[in-house]
Amino acid sequence: MAMPEARLISKNQVTEDLMVIKLECVDTSFTFKPGQYCTLGIQGVERAYSIASSPHEEHLEIFVELVPDGELTPKIWELAIDDRVSIRPRAKGIFTLKPDYRHHVMVATVTGVSPYVSMIRNHLNSNDGSERTFYVLLGASYYDELVYDQELQDLADHHPSVVQFVPTVSRPDDSRNDKWSGLTGRVNNIVRDQLVTRDLPKTETFIYACGHPGMIESVKEEVVADGWNFIEERFWKE
C-alpha cells in the first residue's frame, strides 16, 4: 500500500538553516493532538517533526532546522511549492498538554517551541472555559532564531492571563545580536528564577522541556530533584 502524501503549500525560510513549511494532506484525514509529531519522508528517508499548527487549522505547520549533512532536511530545502512528501497516517507522541494543571512552564530551544505553539493555539481556539497560563521560556543563540517570538509576544500582549513569553539569547556579544535588548543567557539558566519570581505552586504546575538534549538535562536536574512535575521531548540531529 502506498504511503499517504502531503503537498507543500508554503515555505518561509527565516534564516539560512531555519524554515517554516505548511503542508496539505492529500489522501488522508490526518488527525493529531497538540504536542504530537508527524513522520515525513522523501524518497524513502523519513524523520519525525513536531507539529506547530493546532488541530483546527487547515494545514500542517512544521518548523524545520537544516542539518547540512543530513539525509532529509537538505531535500526539504529543495522542495518547490506543490511538491509532495510522504506522511505516515498517524501522529505519535505523548508530549501533550497535561490538562489537570493550572500553570504550564514551557522551556524550549529554537524548533523545540513547535509543540507549545500548537498547544497554545489550540487552547485559545477551544474556548472551553478552562483557566490555564502558559509560560513560554524560549532560548536561542541568535534572536532571529526565535522565529515564533512575534506571535508569542502578541498573544502575551492580548492575553496576559493566558500567555507569558520570556525569550533569551545565549550569545549577546555576537554582532548578529546587535539589535537584541532582551534577556541574555541560556534558557535553562533562567528556569529557576522564573519559578521563584512567579511563585508558582508545585501541585498546580507542570514543566515541559523540548529541544536540545543538553538544555533538557540541565532543566531536568534542576526541577525533578526539587519535586516539580516534568516531561521532556528531545530533538536530535539527523
> pLDDT (tens digit, 9 = 90+) per residue, 114-167?
999 999 999 999 987 789 999 999 999 999 999 999 999 999 999 999 999 999
Who has greater pLDDT, 8 or 2? 8
Distance CA 29, CA 96 (A): 20
Q: One-letter amino acid identity for 179?
A: K
> Looking at residue 170, what is its pLDDT?
98
Q: Is the dihedral of CA 81, 86, 89, 92 positive or negative?
A: negative
Mean pLDDT for the stretch of residues 163-188? 98
In DSSP notation, 144-183 reads GG--SHHHHHHHHHH-TTTEEEEEEES-TTSGGGTT--SE
Given this structure, which CATH class describes domain 103-234? alpha beta
Instruction: From 93, 125, 27, select the one nearest 234 (Cα to Cα).
Output: 93
Who has greater pLDDT, 187 or 3? 187
Q: Where in the chain is the domain with CATH 3.40.50.80?
A: 103-234
Instruction: From 105, 104, 176, select the one nearest 140 (Cα to Cα).
Output: 176
Sorted by sequence, the CB contacts under 8 Å of residue 5 that are 6+ apart come out as 25, 26, 27, 84, 85, 86, 87
Q: What is the percentage of the chain residues whose pLDDT exceeds 70?
A: 98
Instruction: From 93, 126, 88, select the one nearest 2 (Cα to Cα).
Output: 88
Q: Where in the chain is the domain with CATH 2.40.30.10?
A: 5-87
> Looking at residue 122, what is its pLDDT?
98
Distance CA 81, CA 12 (A): 11
pLDDT > 80? residue 236: no
Q: What is the CATH number of domain 5-87?
A: 2.40.30.10
> Looking at residue 129, what is its pLDDT?
78
> Looking at residue 8, what is its pLDDT?
99
Tell me the pLDDT band of 235, cut-offs 50, 70 and 90: confident
- In the beta sheet, which residues pair with residue 234? 211
- Number of C-beta neighbours around residue 69 at 10 A: 8
> Looking at residue 234, what is its pLDDT?
85
pLDDT > 60? residue 220: yes
Which phi and psi angles does 149 have, rounded to 5°?
-65, -40
